[in-house]
Amino acid sequence: MQEAISLKQISKIYERKIALSSLSFTVNKGELVALIGPSGAGKTTLLNLLAAILPPSQGEILIDGHPLSELMDHKKRAKKIGIIRQQYDLVGELPVIHNVLAGRLSEWGLIKSLLSMLIPQDKEYASQALRRVGLTDKLYEKTSSLSGGEQQRVALARLLVQSPEIVLADEPVASLDPARAEDVLDLLVKIALEEKQTLIASLHSVEYARKYFDRLIALKDGEIFFDLPASSVTDDQIKSLYRLKEIS
């Protein structure tokens, strides 16, 4: 298997708080990995490091064998890494098509980007992506008028248009009810498999993590608590992961 991501002794320290401590693991191309663990365990910090939004305090992150620090060019990074969040990162006042086509901005020059605000460019990309996420009829609707589940599908369509090799999903279904959460997760995993993408998602729900992902990396207090195939994680391990420290 070819490595997509490799972390070597990664730490992240905010002032005096250790958010992540000496993490080392690899993720192979095409793997479906869920990050689980209690609030404050470091899941979002880890995803922000992988997305190059934050620099590590110590250690090195490799993408396809090359340091992530070499991927500072926005266009190159957009081809490698895409991120989807709980808040969707959409502009509610804009029509759906503009939010989807934001996934093409790294491909366009300034003039084409500005022109697209008046006359959407590469419209066929948006149409195809929205068809795949089941929103064919929403192309020109105001994004803020859509439900939460529909808005997360728009964010998925934007990722389809961007077409990165690695998808990072930070609590992508935390604000959705269970039925819509399952719809979005099912779609997210299906697209990753079809596009042969590597998917790393942080999730509050262990049930969803076990159901949709091949591998679970559990974080607790900024360290790896376990890193196992989803099928071999026991209920006792889950209980230990979420057990509060006893106050003596």
Give the predicted TM-score (pTM) of the model. Answer: 0.90
Alpha carbon distance 136, 182 (integer Å)? 20
Alpha carbon distance 164, 162 (integer Å)? 6
What does the pLDDT look like over 122-155, one tens digit per residue?
Answer: 788 889 999 999 999 999 999 999 999 999 999 9
Q: Give yes or no for residue 202 having a pLDDT over 70.
A: yes
Alpha carbon distance 111, 156 (integer Å)? 26
CB-based contacts of 23, cutoff 8 Å, min separation 6: 7, 9, 10, 11, 46, 59, 223, 224
Alpha carbon distance 145, 41 (integer Å)? 34
Q: State which fold the 1-72+166-248 domain adopts.
A: Rossmann fold (3.40.50)
Alpha carbon distance 95, 115 (integer Å)? 15
Mean pLDDT taken over the chain: 90
What is the domain partition of the chain in residue ranges? 1-72+166-248, 89-164
Per-residue confidence at 248, pLDDT binned at 50, 70, 90?
very low
What does the pLDDT look like over 163-194, one tens digit per residue?
Answer: 999 999 999 999 899 999 999 999 999 999 99
Using left for φ > 0, alpha for ψ between -120 and 50, and beta otherwise, residue 42 falls in left
Question: 3-state DSSP call for residue 8?
Answer: strand
* For range 207-222, the mean pLDDT: 96
